[in-house]
Structure 1
Amino acid sequence: MDLKTLREEKFTSSKFIKLKHYKYEKNGKEYTWDFIESMDSVAILLYHKTKQSFVFVRQFRIPLYDYQKRNNIKLDKNELGYSIELCSGLVDKNLSLEDIAKEECVEELGYMPKSIEKISDFYSGFGSGTSKQSLYFAEIDEDDKISKGGGIDDEEIESVFVKVHEFENFKEKIIRSTTLDFSYLWFMKFKAQKYGL
């Protein structure tokens, strides 16, 4: 992405979000609440058996870039706006959540998991706009590699392999969401012993 071309424009409408404004009364006084209606999503914790590694996504995120610039957060210019995340995507197709999750694995990382396991559903943005994320786990190997990945359209996605035993140190050096930490703790509780970790 050429950051020289990145500019903020006046918001009018979007196919991804809808701005909402509610009014209500309490004890004779009128109040308002503004929030965003957004799409649900899926996220997948991928574990590469041979490499004994998690496979994450490094991706440029304009909202993160905007936040870091507004708050004058000092980072190397190659890190500004970049986060490390689980493979994820919006529920914007007429497919099952499991099929959307598998499709995201192929689009972003190039792997097609043979099977996928549901971890749980989570809700976020209770004040700013509630949406649900369905979290999954999938085990992969090089036999499951069917494309180069990297995302579609304008996405800028890189694969990041992190050895399970190195995750604790790795997480302290990156911009991440709570889902990354939760997924790691879930893996250590329910899967680590299976893989001899």
Structure 2
Amino acid sequence: MNNHTLWSLRLGYSAKQAETIKRTGLKNFLERSFATKFDLKIPDFLENSPKSFNEFKELRKKLKSSSPEEAKEMQKKEVQTSFEMKAWWIDKMTEDEFPLREKMTCFWHNHFVSTYQKVKVNYWVFQHNQILREHAFGNFKTLTKEIIKSNAMVRYLDNVDNRKDKLNENLSRELLELFTLGIYFWSQ
């Protein structure tokens, strides 16, 4: 199978991966891609990032009580961690022997989007991606149920802004309009 065919299939494989496909055959390559496991280990660059809401609150307290220079340095560190996570993920997409799971994770991340800029907790964005990675080849309904429970998605879609007698319906509306049924269904 030549590179042009692989690109036309929208698989976007590198020359190295194209050689593997040529050697093993596309069917075998895809079967091996679907059978890949993913690493559950938390990457080292997330070691000092907040992992829970309480740790996040403590970081925010520290930011408020710090000098402007110290606060800027702490924020810069978290932004750098976000960049490291992106580089780590791109590396996985380009260097894994069977990168289809990572490419599907990217596909699902573009569907069930969340960003560090809004979520503010790198570990939650990592967890979000791990859910996408785990369910990359699975059932859409199961993936949707799991992803909607993630801290990143809850925060990204403003569900943390709910107040008594004043619900923020962004999460439910976007779940239906953007992620599942679509706006057309609701306008009928």
Q: What is the TM-score when the length of structure 2 is the normalising length?
A: 0.26
- Find the structure with the greater CA-based Rg: 2
Q: What is the TM-score when the length of structure 1 is the normalising length?
A: 0.25
Q: Which has the higher helix share?
A: 2
Q: Which has the higher strand share?
A: 1
User: Greater RCO between the two (CA within 8 Å, min separation 6)?
Assistant: 1
